[in-house]
Structure 1
Amino acid sequence: MGSAPQFAPAPPLREPTREGVLRAAAKMSALLPHTPLLALELPDGGVVWCKAECLQPMGAFKIRGAWHRLTDLTEEERARGVVAVSSGNHAQGVAWAARRLGIAATIVMPSDAPQVKLSETKRLGAEVVLYERLTQSRDAIAAEICAAKGSLLVHAYGDPWVIEGQGSTGIELASQMECFAGGAPTRIVSPCGGGGLASGLALACPGAEIVPVEPEGWDDVTRSLAGGAIVDVGAAPPPTACDALQTMATYPINFAVMTSHGMKGVAVSEAEVRAAQIYAFRKLRLVVEPGGAAALAAVLAGKVPADGRTAVILSGGNVDPAAFAKVIADA
């Protein structure tokens, strides 16, 4: 089966900035309580600090970028509605923000997205359009819908407002670590799909090393950063439980931020992800979806060191109950 045809992204209206991240963080502080920062003892006795974004109202950090983007729309843009592409977490973030702001939302989602994400996106009032992940271009479908409806695209990662919104995670994290860890983070390990969160964290915490983590076979960002040019996942990427991290390629706007920050990525196996889900459940009593556990997986597997002020983003908790129960039962 061939990979989906690539749809060239439109040039961004502007570049994301740290000032934008700070503005997004102020918006989030006025909207929702900060998600907890939890100290996690590692098997070797070290400590890593976990930012529990899985406890956001719709279960993932994606609410941040969606809220920042939609609250900056003009009245005329709001009236035309928004379109998003997502396997589920960005979908729910946009749907949650759109419902709160009274904006019509259409979400393009893969047919193999977890049922819990599909159902919740619909429950939040969004119209869902399904596509086949490996044979259709979600970006092309979204562009057609935008043209037909006159709606605005809110991209899951290739949008300056979305990048800034995700970066608000880092502003909260830095403040919490100053209080509890004795200083700002020296390293932040982050799950990575298209690079929106990693890019935002780099803008939020320019003094920290940012480590994007992807599932094996879907590590296009890792390979792109290593090679100095954007590459896609290829024609036949393997199956992965990390549905939230299945992006075909990063965008230039994200790649520019990540390369300017000197990032180097890491890939983790399916077994390492499952081990991280189990560890987070046992030690933190948290339900973390596979993609949301990728960063912790890299630390537990010894692929990224923890120096006492290393932070890990637990980016989402939207997992089908039966799938999570099987992970725990098979431990």
Structure 2
Amino acid sequence: MNRATGIVVLLATVAVQPASARQTVTFRGKIHVAGRGPLPSQMKVRLGPFGTHVPNDGGFFAGAIPAETRSIALEVETGSPKWVVRYPLGPVAVPRDSAFVTDVIIGPSIEETLARAYAVENALLREHLKGAGLQDSLVIAALDGIRREFQDRTHLEAAALREAATRQNERLKEYPRLATAFEAYDIKAHNIRTAFTYILEPAFVSGAAFGVLRNAILEYNVAFESLRTQRKDFENVVHERWEGERVYSDVVGFMNYALATVHEGQVLPLNDLLPDINRVLRGQLNGGDAKRLRDAVTARVQTAVRDLDPLLKELGRLKDVALLRLQEP
């Protein structure tokens, strides 16, 4: 494995036709991730000297090779030096049936897997020891002892273990901040929908109902501003503390959807209706004008709520995906 470039190689002997031959067959394969995890976002498959191919979103790839090829050197470039091919090991036989799909399984290296496991256990033990009231010096001494034993048993470098443990501890510190902001926005956005659905009509005639509607908007605005103002910081934290583009993409995807699609597209126009509702409530318009404004506001709210429903469902899904990804070792 080339650890500098993140290329994992299966060495093989390739028996090929003379260069003048034109007959080819199609070699088909599918990339799987051990443990059924997500595929790396950047992958390339090189079929010996016969070309490089980019798998589709499902991990499938195909390429033409000379018909008399018996086995082939298959390389998978993942963009990360910590990934290796788990299966097959060694030369990849070319199936007689060109429709056959060869499975290729990739995953974190043994060293990376052990380092991740150590990092998680280290973080949990640190919290347990601190919760038991041990002084920081005693906690550090205990963790150092465990690290040395783990290193002796696994032959992993101490620096790699320290790096993994530090990264996991930093993630544990940052995760609650991200989760709180994400959950708060999701909840308050749903509350806006509920308030306009059930409180709008009473708000035209009742100051108390209008106050409930206004408070729902104010609470939403607090959650929105929290997410908006921390967005850049969240992006930087995830980029620095979490490995992999998939985590970063999922977190940024949730925030983009929340701030642009949900807020700018649907919630902001609802916010702008509050002054009109207040005008009707305070009797600032005559009977005919008040009724027309009330009907217009009601129609706009009904349309907005109907359009908002599927967006909130997708918002919740994106939030759950982002938070689950942030909790992965």
**Which TM-score band applies after superposition, normalised by the shorter structure?**
under 0.3
Higher relative contact order (CA 8 A, sep 6+): 1
Higher helix share: 2
Q: TM-score w.r.t. structure 2 length?
A: 0.23
Larger Rg: 2
Q: TM-score w.r.t. structure 1 length?
A: 0.23
